Structures are given as structure tokens and as C-alpha cells.
Amino acid sequence: MSANVGNADRLFRLVVGIILLLSPLLNMPAIWSSSGFAYASMAVGVILIATSLFRFCPLYRLIGVSTCKL
């Protein structure tokens, strides 16, 4: 498992992941009053945070993309 997520991509994923994870908990926009949207948002947030921390994105591997500088 080699790193394929660069620094700018990691920062973006981390920020968006935290926002998606916390928004349903704070019920900021009313769209997250539906539990389906809330759980989906939190799941995507956790996935984005995990890919940011591990510097590896399985989808990038499948499509052959890497944002890391070699």
C-alpha cells in the first residue's frame, strides 16, 4: 500500500471530512434532520478522514491517479 494522496489533497480531505462528520451532530443545515442523510454524511466524512490519515485512496489506485509528488 503505497501513498497516493498528496499534501494539498490530504488537507482538503481532512477539512471536508471533519465538516461532514460534525454537521449532522450539530444539525447545522436542516437537510441533516433526516437520519439517512446524516448517517451517509458521517460515513463519507469518516472515509475522507481515514484516507487523509493513511495517505492512501483505494479509488485513486483503481483509476491510476496519484497526487503525491515523486
Query: What's the confidence (pLDDT) of residue 70?
Result: 66
Kindly state the average pLDDT of the residues 13-32.
Answer: 86
What predicted TM-score, i.e. pTM, was given to this entire model?
0.87
DSSP character at residue 62: H
Does residue 20 surpass a pLDDT of 80? Answer: yes
Q: What is the pLDDT of residues 23-61, one digit of tens each?
A: 888 877 777 678 888 899 999 999 999 999 999 999 999
Kindly state the average pLDDT of the residues 19-23.
Answer: 91
Cell numbers placing 31: 437537510
Within 10 Å of residue 13's Cβ, how many Cβ atoms? 21
CA–CA separation, 41 and 44 (whole Å): 5
Query: What's the confidence (pLDDT) of residue 49?
Result: 97
